[in-house]
Structure 1
């Protein structure tokens, strides 16, 4: 388990302070300023993104953004604001811990560490059908039970070696007494060993019988602890769920649409008037589309519903405009389309060029300048550009 702390080089001191707090909680952390390619965020990891004005102008901003969106799609991202600067597009409307007031950062680091713990906490296993019908209260109880089990395992990792120590000392003392009795012209046996153990206990004010009992019990306890750890060492680990499904999915959510059933439409709410008539006309021609007309929010359930729709789509159409290039939703949807290897069709509603981070996704992709097409001909031009997807 690794907690990656992504930050601009100028924010390294803040990242190091947060790193100390996280590691005091028993989590291994690693600083990531984007200058070195680190391994992807995996199951059991979390990523903390420190957002500041320095991040906006960092040379490795795009790499850090991509890692942050990777973590967000899997429900493993924690955003922290270090100042009142504007976050990059795609991250501005996500929930964030406000650590802009330096005098309170020590408290804020603890809040971040709590959120990290929640992100890396494994979800309780449950069968698909049972999960759809289980009450939310039961889900919380199972999560709490799993958390308690994890905490007990952590305590056992420290307590068991301590409990095994008396047995190790008793075994060492017994072996020493045995070896001492075996050396000499008249080697001793079992009676001499018992007498030596009794004399050892007498030095600490214990009777011979009590010392023997303590020796036996502590040695047996140590043997049991060693056997337990050896068994765990060679025990086959349980299969884990595939990391492909985002952690934010609700178990009772509907199954993803069949691959290729529809085309996902990514657009800015401000462009509804230009987008919806074209989509409706294309529907009349028999095409299927998925688009958000209900104003989904980036909180609970948002990632799950959008990810399911994009994963199940046959392609993704991006309705490009200045408003779209400034939309956090559109940025994340384009990223998810690229992540799931979906064919992109940029449809330009106005004469505007994409910013650098959008241009990366559009490289080598054929675009449709819909604004250059007469309005009555736009649905047919759109359908032709979609082709077989």
Structure 2
């Protein structure tokens, strides 16, 4: 395996993707590298599993109004020359969320990912609704989600938080081909259950709340205490942000792992499909309603209401579906407005340039 392939390079031989060939041809002196860390002042990139170098970002990326989603993120492939990034290569997949604040912005969490481990502790951290929210963002970005339930050893000791009850709460996800695995993140034999997704050349990212066990799981997979860990509060099982920035790490298995800080807010971008959040069954029920514009209220022939009344659909899960549906619709409206404003600016800019050219001539 070549050094680039060891950190996830997607080609066995010469680059054949025309979208990649164009920027490579435009920068013949540049070398491909992968972003392994992202900081306010720049990036750390690698050309193999055992190296890393700080590089500067292009001048355009440093402008405040430059779209955040168009800058490189951890996991991205870039072209580097003279100690600086000169081009961002096309992404195959990624996790995005709506950035905090009133104005519409997107934030890329990680890029070029094969699998996302949605990590959730089998203690007070366990929250099926939050898992559904993660799945919505993960699947919409083109990656395969795997729900990893950590602290299985503690759950076995506590009857109120047993593994069986957690699995039962996620049965709807398992029915939609979302893999769910319960592990003891400190036990190497236990985390071997995750090996099918950690094959050479694959990239996996860990997401979940602080204290869920992401850094502990990373250390176990590495076979060393590389990532800092801390105890969680007994009252609510929340932890401190021991991971302060996203980092791509080469694992002994040949896979790449991206650890991320805990995320308190998971806003949709407006580009999601609710079926991706584990709600494909509810979407299918909606298509069986008598009226195409059924709001699932008191309309006759409503398949969704019938499923609720018959106990075939969990009311809490359906309420969360409605909440996410409204959030996605609201974000989609903001995205459409933002795109329309950009289009108007381009039209106005072209009109202004034409008037200037007519008056002063082209120069």
TM-score, normalisation: structure 1: 0.25
Structure number with higher relative contact order (C-alpha < 8 Å, ≥ 6 residues apart): 2
1 or 2, which has the higher helix percentage? 1
1 or 2, which has the higher strand percentage? 2
Over alpha carbons, which structure has the higher Rg? 1
